[in-house]
Amino acid sequence: MYQSPVTKRKIIFHVDMNSFYASVEMAENPELQGKPVAVAGNVEERKGIIVTCSYEARERGVRTTMPLWQARKLCPNLVVVPPDFETYKLYSSRMFHLLQEYTEWVEPVSIDEGYMDVTDCKNPLEMAKEIQTRLLNELHLPCSIGIGPNKFLAKTASDMKKPLGITVLRKRDLAEKLWPLQVGEMHGIGKKTEEKLNKYGIFTVKDLAEAIDYELKHRFGINGIKMKERANGIDSRPVDPSSASDYRSIGSSTTLSEDLISVTEADAVFKRLAAKVSTRLKTKGYVALTLAITIRYSDRKTITRSQMLPNATQHTADIQKTALDLFRRHWNHDPVRLLGITATEVVEKEHATYQLDLFSVEKNEKDALLHDVLSSIERKHGEGIIKRGNK
């Protein structure tokens, strides 16, 4: 059962890696240091999309989700590399292990960010500087660290100075640093919510902080009250290391009435199982980062094979396709008695770091999955970042 480390006033860090994928590429290949680097899919095609880029590339106007052809026009000497998700995951693991040297109260929220409760620390600013320096020297990864009395203020602070920023945000700083901002700039408020708030005369964070509780609850439900609390610097959520593994796996399996002997039969079974897994993920508000299949043969020999997903997902079609791909690669053609699909690594949808596999945007423009991914990008990188272009 979760217990807070202490009851005194909290000191929370939010550690956010800067241009994580590009930084990992530079850590793996030091020759890229100081160069404009972009991670993108379909690097040889015009339709490739920028997943992330170094600050040197950003200085030349390159931005996340920008078409590759446009990025190269802005920055002719742009170094473009394809994504290597397994390596990114490895560096993420190393990063969190380093953070856990300072406190057991570490809560990962995505591949490149997490919270730390360092309430027992006597000099949190010096600790933040040491963590930042060690990540840079030992892993060659720059980060920004926000320090606050709760998760919301720590997260808000970490966004205030990038790269390599360390920012303290206290409740007494709200009037100066947070309240003047447009309400859509507040962490956790998306474009649609911002438009609705504007409709009711709430344009700045200060407007939200001073809004009437009854009206907010009437128009936005309990989330209206939560938004107002955040605007006033109130956030009671604990740093909970166990939350990352509350739903470590979500799956479904079935024992077949007759042995399965073809890929076509397997696909039909996977479709049903994928639908069940998708429903459970959606019910819990989670997305899958890694999927595994279980194959049990008629002689009861059982194997499990897994694959990290390029995009965090909760969609039936994605789950079915991945399961079938794994089956094609690993089935030995003996009769199958049982099949199963399990999301072996899951995170809350709102915290998911989508790997931005948008390498065929034009083809999938009307696809519902694309809409979900684009929305996720905007939540992480800012509203209005994505613009529709002409064909």
Which tokens belong to 380?
Answer: 């992480």
Q: Is 334 annotated as a binding residue?
A: no
Q: Are residues 263 and 222 in the same domain?
A: no
Confidence of residue 378 (pLDDT cuts 50, 70, 90): low
Instruction: Write out the catalytic residue numbers.
Output: 113
Q: Is the pLDDT reported for residue 381 higher than 70? A: no
Examine the domain organization and report whether 258 and 338 are in the same domain: yes
Domain count, the chain: 2
**How far apart, in whole angstroms, are the C-alpha atoms of residue 86 and residue 162?**
25
Structure tokens belonging to residue 94: 């190393």
What is the DSSP track for 273-321?
HHHHHHHHHHHHTEEEEEEEEEEEETT--EEEEEEEEEEEE--HHHHHH
pTM for the full predicted model: 0.65
Q: Which of 146, 149, 144, 150 is nearest to 167 (CA)?
A: 146
> Are the beta carbons of 49 and 363 closer than 8 angstroms?
no
Q: Does 308 share its domain with 251?
A: yes
Give the H or E element holding residue 208. Answer: helix 205-209
Answer yes or no: is 321 within a domain.
Answer: yes
Lowest mean pLDDT among 103-112, 150-159, 335-344, 358-367: 358-367
User: E strands within the chain?
Assistant: 12-17, 37-40, 50-53, 79-81, 106-110, 113-117, 143-148, 166-168, 250-260, 286-297, 302-313, 336-348
The predicted pLDDT at position 252 comes to: 87
Q: 266 and 343 share a domain?
A: yes
- Residue 46 scores a pLDDT above 80: no
- The residues, any chain, with a CB within 8 Å of residue 152's CB and separated by 6 or more, are 187, 188, 230, 233, 234, 235
Calpha distance 331→303 (Å, rounded): 9
In a domain, 54, yes or no: no
375 found inside a domain? no
Answer left, alpha or beta for residue 51, where phi above 0 means left and psi between -120 and 50 means alpha: alpha
Residues 204 and 274 in one domain: no
On whether residue 159 sits in a domain, the answer given is: no
pLDDT in tens, 268-300: 999 999 999 999 898 888 888 888 898 988 887
Q: Do 270 and 339 have their domain in common?
A: yes
Domain with residue 328: its CATH number is 3.30.1490.100
Q: Are 320 and 278 in contact (CB under 8 A)?
A: no
73 — pLDDT class (breaks 50, 70, 90) = very high
188 and 215 in a common domain: yes
3-state secondary structure 53-73: ECHHHHCCCCCCCCEHHHHHH
Q: Is 112 annotated as a binding residue?
A: yes
Q: Are residues 264 and 201 in the same domain?
A: no
What pLDDT band is residue 307 in, cutting at 50, 70 and 90?
confident
CB 355 within 8 A of CB 83: yes
Which span out of 46-50, 90-94, 339-343 was modeled with the highest average pLDDT?
A: 339-343
Is a pLDDT exceeding 60 seen at residue 374? Answer: no
Whether the pLDDT of residue 386 is over 70: the answer is no
Distance CA 82, CA 48 (A): 10
Which two tokens mark 180? 């003047």
CA angle at 125 for the pair 230 and 141, rounded to the nearest 5°: 90
Tell me the pLDDT band of 150, cut-offs 50, 70 and 90. very high
Give the domain extent around 272: 247-351
Asked if residue 282 and residue 213 are part of one domain, the reply reads no
Asked whether residue 339 is domain-assigned, the answer is yes
- CATH number for the domain that contains residue 225: 1.10.150.20
Q: Is position 77 within any domain?
A: no
Mark whether 265 and 323 lie in a shared domain: yes
> Considering the domain boundaries, does residue 134 fall inside one?
no
* Residue 326 counted as domain residue: yes
